[in-house]
């Protein structure tokens, strides 16, 4: 199971490294596994929040159906922030 996950992670990493947009974001940085995972989750959230179609024909209702609706039965409103509550304040920097 872990080998499959690492293989998939390696494949995704290779695809992202070839993508110009990802290179612009990452640059020449070497990301840790956690940083790459966070980046992939943020990309996934952006992709899943893209509108597929309108939910109603009312011109005042601007809410759209997204793939997030199929995943969590609700719109994905924002990118999740990292939970920093378990990190001591002395280890955090601005």
pLDDT 10s digits, 29-69: 888 888 888 888 887 777 777 788 888 888 888 788 887 77
Confidence of residue 17 (pLDDT cuts 50, 70, 90): low
Domain boundaries, the chain: 1-49
Buried b (16+ CB within 10 A) or exposed e, 47-73: ebbeeeeeeeeeeeeeeeebebbeeee
Token code pair at residue 23: 């290179």
The pair of three-digit structure tokens given for residue 58, joined into one six-digit string = 């009312």
76: number of Cβ within 10 Å: 19
pTM of the model: 0.47
């Amino acid at each position: 199971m872990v080998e499959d996950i690492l293989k998939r992670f390696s494949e995704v990493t290779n695809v992202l490294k070839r993508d110009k947009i990802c290179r612009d974001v990452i640059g020449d940085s070497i990301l840790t596994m956690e940083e790459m995972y966070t980046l992939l989750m943020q990309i996934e959230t952006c992709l899943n929040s893209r509108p597929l179609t309108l939910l109603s024909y009312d011109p005042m209702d601007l809410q759209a159906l997204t793939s997030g609706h199929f995943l969590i039965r609700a719109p994905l409103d924002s990118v999740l922030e990292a939970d920093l509550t378990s990190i001591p304040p002395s280890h955090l920097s601005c």
